[in-house]
Structure 1
Amino acid sequence: MNNKCVSPMMFHAKQENEELLFPNRCVLVNGPVIVGAGPSGLVVGAGLKQQGVPFVILERSNCIASLWQNKTYDRLKLHLPRKFCQLPYFPFPENFPEYPTKCQFVEYLESYAKKFDIGPMFNESVQFAKFDEKCGLWRVRSVRSTDGSVVEYISRWIVVATGENAEKVVPEFEGAQNFEGGVIHACDYKSGSVYQDKKVLVVGCGNSGMEISLDLCHHNAYPSMVVRSSVHVLPREILGKSTFHLGVSMMKWMPQWLVDKMLLIATRLTLGNLEKHGIKRPSVGPLKLKDIAGKTPVLDIGTLQKIKSGDIKVVPGIKNFLPGGVELVNGQVLEIDSVVLATGYHSNVPSWLKETRFFSRKGLPRTPFPNGWKGEDGLYSVGFTKRGISGASLDAIRVAQDIATIWKQETEQINQVLAITSHRRLESQF
C-alpha cells in the first residue's frame, strides 16, 4: 500500500462512516476508528453523530455490549440506581425500575444505538494498531471472524474503548489439573439451576462472587466462598437511600475521610460485625480505596444474610486442589463438586495496541482520571477510569468534543483549499 503522507480527510466519503477504496484490503476513514462497541464506544459514537463527524466502530463480537449480553449471569441487576448508569443524551425509560435488570440494560443500549443510528462493524477483531509516523495516520488491522479476511483501517484518530474488562483473569492453582470436577469462570456462569444439590466453591468475594454465591443458594446448591483478603461490604441502601448516592452527596460538603467514616459507621449499624463471619475490612476507607487502588466496594443485596445463616460458607485462600476438593491455607480440606472463578477481568490493550507512552503494561492509561482520556498522535481512551459508566461517559463526552473540534477545523481548511483550486481551474479555462 502507498504510505505517502495523505490525510483521509482528503477523500470524499460517499457514505457516512466509511470509505472503501480497496475492498477487503484497506478502508480510509474520514474520522476516527473506535475499537469496542460497549457503552463507552456507543457514547463516543453518539457524541460524534450529533456533530456530523463520521466514524467506524469495530467490535469483535456479533453484538453491542457483548460483556453484558454474553458474559454475565441471568440474575444480574445494576448495582447503582439507574440515574448513575444512564448514558449521556438519552435517559432510561421512565417505567424502568430503580435498579434495571441485565435484560433491561441491554434493551436500553440497543435503543441507544438505534436512536443515534450507530452501526458497528461486528465480528471484527483488532489484531494490530500502530501510528505510522511516515504518513501521520493510524493503521488498524482487523480480522473478520466470518471469513478470516484481513482489513486495514487508516485513520487520523483512534479511540480505544475496549475497557478494563476485556479478558477474564484465570489464576493458576497448584494441583488444578488433578481436580475431577468442573471449573468455569464467572463470565460463563448463567444460573445456579445446573448446580442443584452440588457443593460449589466460588473463588472471589467481589460483587460477582457475592451475587453468584447468593444465586447458588436460591437454586438449592451448597456454596462456599473464598475470601482471601480484606474487602469492604456496604449495604446497597441505607434508610431507603442508595449508599452510593449518599456518599456522592456527602462528598460535596465533607472531606473524603469523614464520608468514609460515616459510611462505615452506618454499615456497622446496618450489617453488624462481619469479621466474626470471616470478612475483614481494609484499613483504608471504601472511597479512598476506590481512588487509590480502583477497588469497588461490594454492595450487598442479601448475600450477608445467607452467610450469617450458614447457607454460604466463607473460607480462606486455596493452598492446592485435590481430586475431589481443595486444601485451604488453614489446612482444612473442603469437598466440592464444582468451582466458579469470580476472579475478575483485565484490559487486553497491550496485546494489540503498539504504544507504550500512554498505556501501561497493564493496559491502563498512565495518567489517572480525569486526565487519562487523551494521548498523542490522535490517540484517545474511554472506559478505563475505574469509575463505572459515569466515569466512562465523562471521558467519552470529552473525546467526542475534542475530535469534532479538530475534524471541523481541518474539514473547513480542506474545503477552502478545494474551493481555491477549483476557482483557479475555472479561471485557467478562460
Structure 2
Amino acid sequence: MEEIVVLIVGAGPSGLATSACLSVHSIPHIILEKEDIYASLWKKRAYDRLKLHLAKEFCSLPLKPHSPDSPTYIPKDMFVDYLDDYVKTFNIQPKYQRHVESASYDEADGKWRIEAKNVLTGGVEVYVAEFLVVASGENSGKYIPELPGLDSFSGETLHSSEYKSGAKYENKEVLVVGCGNSGMEIAYDLSNYEVQTAIVIRNPVHVVTKEIVRVGMIFSKYLPIFIVD
C-alpha cells in the first residue's frame, strides 16, 4: 500500500496539467495511467488532419502558453510536441499500465482508497490518498450504438477514434454518422480524396466558423453568456 497526498487518474492533458500545478507547489502526487504512454488519445487515436478546434490562447495548459510563432489553430503533431515539452519541463512521471478498478472514500479517515491493476504483472496495487482527481477523459472510450443490420453489413465499419486518413477510401462510398467535431472534420477530409461522402445528423445544427467561435469566447470573458449567444 502506498500513501500519497493527491492521486490523479489519467495522464491526458488534464492529468498532466494537474500534475504540473501540484509540482509547482511541491505537493506530493501520483498519476495512474492505463495506457503505456501519456496523452494516448492524441498519440494513438487521432486522425492525421486533426487540429485544435479552438484558438491556441484557449488551449494552452497552465504555466506554459503556446509559442507566439505557432499557428492560431494548432495541428495535432505540433500539439503533441507541446505536450512532450510540457512533460519534460515539469518532470511528470506517470505510472503506466495501471487500470483503476475501484475508488472508495473512508469517512472515518477522510481518505480515498484506490485499487489499480498493474497490467504488466497482473497484481493489484492499493493507494491511499487525501485527494482524488479523476482525469480519465470524456472521450476515453469509443461508443458505437446498436443499429439494425450493422452486423450483416458487408462493408467496413469503424469508430472515429480508429480513423486516420481518407486516402484508403479513395473512390469509395462512405457514410459518416454524427456531426460533432470529429464527424464534420472526417467528412471534410474524405471529400479531399474523391470519396463519395454522405453524413447523417440526428437533429438540426447551427454551423458557424471557427473565427466566430473565437470571437464569442473572447466576448465571454467580459459579457454574460446569453448576450454572447
The answer, yes or no, to whether TM exceeds 0.5 is yes
Shift of 1:84: 1.0
Name the CA shift for 1:256/1:159 in 2 (closer, same or farther; >3 Å).
Answer: closer
Shift of 1:259: 3.1
Shift of 1:255: 4.8
Q: Which residue of 2 aligns with 1:247?
A: 216
Give, in whole Å, the separation in 1 of the partners of 2:199 and 2:119.
37
Q: Which residue of 2 aligns with 1:228?
A: 202
Shift of 1:139: 1.2
Q: Which residue of 1 aligns with 2:2?
A: 27
Query: What is the letter of the counterpart of residue 28 of structure 1?
Result: E
Q: Which residue of 2 aligns with 1:208?
A: 182
Give, in whole Å, the separation in 1 of the partners of 2:122 and 2:224.
54
Shift of 1:208: 0.7
Give, in whole Å, the separation in 2 of the partners of 1:132 and 1:176.
45
Give, in whole Å, the separation in 1 of the partners of 2:71 and 2:87.
21
Q: Retained in 2: the 8 A contact 1:68–1:106?
A: yes
Structure with greater Cα Rg: 1
Q: Which of 161, 164, 167 is the aligned partner of 1:187? A: 161
1:106-134 residue CA offsets vs partner (Å, 9 max, x unmatched)? 11111111111110111111111111335
Q: Retained in 2: the 8 A contact 1:143–1:149?
A: yes
Q: Which residue of 2 aligns with 1:85?
A: 59
Give, in whole Å, the separation in 2 of the partners of 1:125 and 1:103.
27
Q: Which of 117, 121, 124 is the aligned partner of 2:95? A: 121
Aligned with 1:175: secondary structure?
coil
Query: What is the letter of the counterpart of residue 202 of structure 2?
Result: R
Q: Which residue of 2 aligns with 1:141?
A: 115
Q: Which has the higher helix share?
A: 1
Aligned with 2:186: secondary structure?
helix
Q: State the Cα RMSD in Å.
A: 1.6
Name the CA shift for 1:146/1:253 in 2 (closer, same or farther; >3 Å).
Answer: closer
Name the CA shift for 1:252/1:161 in 2 (closer, same or farther; >3 Å).
Answer: closer
Give, in whole Å, the separation in 2 of the partners of 1:46 and 1:251.
27
Name the CA shift for 1:115/1:201 in 2 (closer, same or farther; >3 Å).
Answer: same
Name the CA shift for 1:154/1:209 in 2 (closer, same or farther; >3 Å).
Answer: same
1:299-358 residue CA offsets vs partner (Å, 9 max, x unmatched)? xxxxxxxxxxxxxxxxxxxxxxxxxxxxxxxxxxxxxxxxxxxxxxxxxxxxxxxxxxxx
Give, in whole Å, the separation in 1 of the partners of 2:154 and 2:224.
52
Shift of 1:41: 1.0
Give, in whole Å, the separation in 1 of the partners of 2:30 and 2:219.
41
Name the CA shift for 1:182/1:138 in 2 (closer, same or farther; >3 Å).
Answer: same
After superposing on structure 2, the runs of 4+ consecutive aligned residues of structure 1 that deviate more than 2 Å are 132-137, 248-260
Shift of 1:163: 2.4
Aligned with 2:102: secondary structure?
strand
Give, in whole Å, the separation in 1 of the partners of 2:86 and 2:113.
29
Shift of 1:175: 1.8
Name the CA shift for 1:72/1:51 in 2 (closer, same or farther; >3 Å).
Answer: same
Give, in whole Å, the separation in 1 of the partners of 2:74 and 2:225.
29
Say if 2:128 is the partner of 1:159.
no
How many positions carry a matched residue from both structures?
A: 229
1:157-185 residue CA offsets vs partner (Å, 9 max, x unmatched)? 11111122221221111121111111110
Query: What is the letter of the counterpart of residue 88 of structure 2?
Result: K
Give, in whole Å, the separation in 2 of the partners of 1:80 and 1:89.
19
With the length of structure 1 as denominator, give the TM-score of the two structures: 0.51
With the length of structure 2 as denominator, give the TM-score of the two structures: 0.94
Equivalence map 1:32-51=2 (5 Å): 32-51=6-25
1:188-246 residue CA offsets vs partner (Å, 9 max, x unmatched)? 11111111111111000111111101111112211110112111210122xxxxx2231
Say if 2:172 is the partner of 1:198.
yes
Give, in whole Å, the separation in 2 of the partners of 1:95 and 1:81.
13
Say if 2:37 is the partner of 1:63.
yes
Q: What residue ranges of structure 2 are gaps of 5+ in the alignment?
A: none
1:61-104 residue CA offsets vs partner (Å, 9 max, x unmatched)? 11111111112111000111111101111111233211111111
Q: Which residue of 2 aligns with 1:13?
A: none
Q: Retained in 2: the 8 A contact 1:64–1:110?
A: no
Shift of 1:248: 2.8
Aligned with 1:127: secondary structure?
strand
Give, in whole Å, the separation in 2 of the partners of 1:255 and 1:151.
47
Q: Which of 160, 164, 169 is the aligned partner of 2:143? A: 169
Equivalence map 1:4-403=2 (5 Å): 26-29=1-4, 31-237=5-211, 243-251=212-220, 254-260=223-229
Q: Retained in 2: the 8 A contact 1:76–1:102?
A: yes
Shift of 1:254: 4.9
Give, in whole Å, the separation in 1 of the partners of 2:175 and 2:103.
40
Q: Retained in 2: the 8 A contact 1:196–1:219?
A: yes
Name the CA shift for 1:149/1:180 in 2 (closer, same or farther; >3 Å).
Answer: same
Give, in whole Å, the separation in 2 of the partners of 1:155 and 1:42.
18
Shift of 1:258: 4.0
